[in-house]
Chains A and B, each alone.
Chain A
């Protein structure tokens, strides 16, 4: 069963990390990612830029574009994983492993209702990531 692990954290804290701290977190996460990939459980996953780079289209009539996400919350959606697991317990175990590698915040574990793998060429995705 497919679950989404939605990563929430206080972005002003995360963006206060020095490059070295950020690298250390990403290194620890990479080890968890490797394990998930090797067991075939890891689907498309991504890390988002800060909400300062975001725009929101509010579906009013006519639709209005505003800067940033419009909900003022303490924690922001900073990324997500798609994982293929047997049950909630297994998804929670993965979230615990990720949480141990990545301080603060929380993971929302949410079953996926519709999954569209999309058709992004591998190269484009890689270039965006580099």
Chain B
């Protein structure tokens, strides 16, 4: 029955991080772990429809995958080496402690290690994302290539290169210390956020192709949350992603132009995702351990709570950006705070806040976009036009440039009628 097959596919996908993570700990080699998992999946597709799914699919896949890989190793050894008996008993010795290590207490560290290996600092961000999607999420190279808008061959090459880079592997396989675990968690959260942003920063025409990246990031965040159920920053990360994603349907108009938050049709926002985000951020705040993801999620929550743009609690948003600035000082965060300042205290105050940022953000599209908008509000038309021109020159996408051009057009026509 098709329903059963859907369930099996779901079970294989959801067991994948845990199974590959455990096989990786066992074989200490990503390639072998992946092959063993593939092997186990093929057997599952044969066995499960007949015998029914096992009670613990991940444990089944780990055992079967491990045995299949060991069988292969035995066969390989038998062809090349004599006597085979010794080899066999050697391998049996390896198996015994493994049975103990299949303990579920290890699963959390297995999955975290697997995710952590994918975000190896040697790898550029795009390779980290591609590797995680391939190894942890199990997306096909074709699916990933489509989401990245590159050819399948190019993506294949990128993933192979990334695997080779991490293959040598300097990540220890021992149970991590508390500090190591925290450090891994921080790196993995950043990687998941990158996956999301890769899908989120897009032009309208590519949005449909890139949405799987956002969906996968949310799935990975939920996975991480199940591993660390009481970690408020993980709740904050999941909340942030679902709240941002809740606006997906309202971000572009029919012509593919970017629709800014203030102008979005809020009836298109997903109530379901908003409610999930709000529930998570409420839960996170109870822990009284604020962090950057929680603060960003709280800002997104304030936008989500406003049924019309004019209801937005900008004063609270300004305060949250101020908190974020203190946690991780960055001119981009100050720039974001300036948007809130302009709503609370007017364009003049906001302009004063961003003026010192021209040096660090001189190559940043959004800086000149905001500067132009503030100058426009102040009626300083000529300066506004200069800023908008700079913004267009720095635009990353056609949609960004088109958006600024709308402002310019408005300036021109206002100028003509004034």
Contact = CB atoms under 8 A, between A and B. Distances in A.
Q: Is the interface of B mostly helix, strand, loop or mixed?
A: helix
Given A12-B14, A55-B283, A65-B286, A17 B229 contact: no
Contacts of B229: 52, 67-68
A17 B6 contact: yes
A128 interface: yes
B55 interface: yes
Contacts of B225: 52
Most buried by B among A17, A53, A128, A129: A53
B5 to A, nearest CB: 8
B4 A103 contact: yes
Given A19-B215, A49-B279, A101-B3, A13 B230 contact: no
A54 to B, nearest CB: 8
A15 B222 contact: yes
B271 A13 contact: no
Interface in A74-122: 74, 100-104
A67 B283 contact: yes
Interface in B260-277: 271-272, 275-276
Contacts, number: 74
A53 B6 contact: no
Contacts of B27: none
A49 B276 contact: yes
Contact of B10 (A16, A49, A67, A100): A16
B11 interface: yes
A99 to B, nearest CB: 9
A36 interface: no
Contacts of B1: 100
B271 A127 contact: yes
A130 interface: yes
B230 A66 contact: yes
B44 to A, nearest CB: 13
10 contacts: A12-B14, A14-B10, A16-B10, A21-B10, A25-B6, A52-B225, A52-B226, A67-B283, A68-B229, A130-B272
Interface of A: 10, 12-19, 21, 24-25, 28, 49-50, 52-53, 55, 65-68, 74, 100-104, 127-130
